[in-house]
Amino acid sequence: MKGHVTELPDFPVYLSLGSNIGNRLYYLQSAVEKLKSHPKIQIQCTSHIYETDPLYIKNQGDYLNCVVQIRTDLQCKILLEEVQKIEEELGRIRNNVRFAPRTIDIDIIFYGNQIINQENLQVPHKRYSERRFVLVPLNEIAPELVCPKTHKYVNQMLAICQDNSTVRLYKDQKETGFE
């Protein structure tokens, strides 16, 4: 790919994307396109898009969610800064309300097998295993990925997940460009 890195680390990075304001599909597609066009990021695989019930604050619109596997030579902290720039470009407004509706949310779920515990960065993502909206699309593309903290496979984490919220394939996958 023109302008993209040629030597990438040998480990995958997994990002979870979600949107529940405005044209949700547009925001997911735009975020993926911005990731694709980044010179230091290569998308390896993208899950289908799923429509999900809001998990924590119930009186808001349903989400569209997906998981993207990438390779990058960006350090994890720099990757976080880059995905936050994408969120900002797509109208994400950060406020002090946790789990508030958003145009786009991009979380780093796994960064290879690294465990990172910094003030604004926890990898693996500290709540991924509690969230079917992350685990279902992640299980679609990486069921045998092993969590470096729990040493369990993603499919095992999904099987024991206590979250019983609805996660369903989004209507027409051809419309999404994610099939």
One-letter amino acid at 167 equals V
What span, in angstroms and rounded, lies between the C-alpha atoms of 56 and 41? 31
Of 24, 71, 105, 132, the catalytic one is 105
Residue 102 annotated as catalytic: yes
Asked if 98 is an active-site residue, the reply is no
Angstrom CA distances, 88 to 31, 115, 122, 148, stand at 11, 26, 20, 30
Q: Which residues are 155's β-sheet partners? A: none
Question: Considering 24, 71, 92, 132, which one is annotated as catalytic?
Answer: 92
Q: For the residues of 25-87, what is the DSSP string, one character each?
A: HHHHHHHHHHHHH-TTEEEEEEPPPEEE--SS--SSPPEEEEEEEEEE-S-HHHHHHHHHHHH
24, 71, 102, 132: the catalytic one is 102
Q: Which of 24, 107, 131, 132 is catalytic?
A: 107
Give me the sign of the Cα torsion angle 32, 36, 40, 42: positive
Q: Is 71 a catalytic residue?
A: no
The catalytic residue positions are 92, 102, 105, 107
